[in-house]
């Protein structure tokens, strides 16, 4: 098992593929973005819009994943709001 790559706390906009990252700030995805094996640390927030999806995500206690995108797989100890659960239509 690999250790997630640390991202600086603060804002990050994602337009491509984000893999194996530890997010400690605010992550805003755009349509078409893919998150793979990302960890949202306590206090982090990710906005997952329609057309974006994430799989293998870990949402720590105190972290938030929200939006209208798709959560395919993950572990949730925090808050998930508005996302669809299942396989993305790609």
List pLDDT tens digits, range 9-42.
Answer: 555 566 688 889 999 999 989 899 999 999 999 9
Please give the Cα distance from 38 to 67 (Å, whole number). Answer: 16
Domain ranges of the chain: 5-76
Q: Residue 87: its pLDDT value, please?
A: 84
CA–CA dist 18, 42 (Å, integer): 19
For residue 16, the model assigns a pLDDT of 81
């Amino acid at each position: 098992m690999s250790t997630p790559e640390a991202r600086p706390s603060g804002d990050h906009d994602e337009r491509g593929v984000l893999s194996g990252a530890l997010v400690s700030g605010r992550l805003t995805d755009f349509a078409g973005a893919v998150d793979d094996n990302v960890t949202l640390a306590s206090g982090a927030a990710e906005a997952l819009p329609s057309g974006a999806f994430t799989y293998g995500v870990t949402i720590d206690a105190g972290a938030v994943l929200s939006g209208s995108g798709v959560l395919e797989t993950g572990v949730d100890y925090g808050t998930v709001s508005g996302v669809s659960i299942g396989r993305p239509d790609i």
